[in-house]
Amino acid sequence: MKLVNFELEGSTCLGAVKGDAIVEIPLALDDILGRVAEPFHAALETGRRVMPLGQARLLAPIARPGKIICVGRNYAAHARERGAEVPTQPIFFLKSNNTICGPGDAIVLPEVSKQVDYEAELAVVIGKGGKNIPEDKAYEHVAGYMMLNDVSARDLQSADKQWFRGKSCDTFAPIGPWIVTKDEIRDPHRLRISLTLNGQTMQDSNTGNMMFTIPHLISYLSGTLTWEPGDILSTGTPEGIGASRTPPVFLKPGDSVSITVDNIGTLTNPVVAQSSTNR
């Protein structure tokens, strides 16, 4: 099932995509995420209103996640293109939740950066919280999957000697366009992942190239923190980022960035200058 947040009659509603339509689900997303081991069909059958998918304004599937945890250098080819060592254990960093925006929302280029980059990533949505989770039980805590664009200001990263500020600018985590529940994805490590910039393919890989698997990442980090429903784990980007190209390619106003992952869909966002948005 594809779970969406969408705008209906001036309100934000939860729905399920059914063919070319969205069926409203009269439940909160937290209620759905907490029932990852149960079928969702009963909730779908109680849907009240229907909207054509093509006419709906889709919103970020999770508006204010408690944690956005990202994995750095989880694809060996990406580590090498950055001139970095291939890690022997996962590297984690946080993005703050002010970065969240939805499908079709603009990525806003901050005036303080001239080197804003794209990063296509498969994101995992946590459905059931827990700590000290055994690796063989990790999927029991997964609600589903979506895309996340880990937009990054490379010059801020370089100036700060760490990643947080450069990855936590407003709008720097487009997510969506929906959450595909885990029962729809047989193996999240066998999915083609690609990114186009203005129609040109810039990244093209497969999630099978991750060095650290989703169960390992969930289990590994659960040894020191408690996962909570609605948390997002973004699993890293493959090679092909703009900063590693010759010459470098950075986002500019008027660009359009699209991430596509097999069996999930496509997430597209325009790029605008900060000066063209309200302050």
Q: Is 111 helix (H, G, I), strand (E, B) or coil?
A: coil
**Domains and their CATH numbers in the chain:** 2-58 (no CATH), 62-276 (3.90.850.10)
The one-letter code for the residue type at 129 is: G
pLDDT above 90 for 279: no
How far apart are the C-alpha atoms of 214 and 193, rounded to whole Å? 15
Q: Considering only CA atoms, give the Rg of the chain.
A: 18
Q: Report pLDDT digits (tens) over 43-53.
A: 555 557 899 99
Question: Taking all residues of the chain, what is their mean pLDDT, rounded to a whole number?
Answer: 93
- In percent, how much of the chain has pLDDT > 70? 94
What is the pLDDT at residue 37? 46
**For 206-220, what is the mean pLDDT?**
98
Q: Which residues contact 218 (CB under 8 A, 6 or more apart)?
A: 124, 126, 133, 135, 138, 141, 142, 227, 233
Handedness of CA 138, 141, 144, 145 (dihedral sign): negative
Confidence (pTM) = 0.95
Lowest-pLDDT choice from 63-67, 82-86, 264-268: 82-86
Q: Report pLDDT digits (tens) over 89-139.
A: 999 999 999 999 999 999 999 999 999 999 999 999 999 999 999 999 999
pLDDT above 90 for 28: no
How far apart are the C-alpha atoms of 173 and 39, rounded to whole Å? 29
Distances (CA, A) of 230 to 19, 67, 119, 121, 233: 25, 8, 22, 17, 10
Q: Per-residue confidence at 151, pLDDT binned at 50, 70, 90?
A: very high
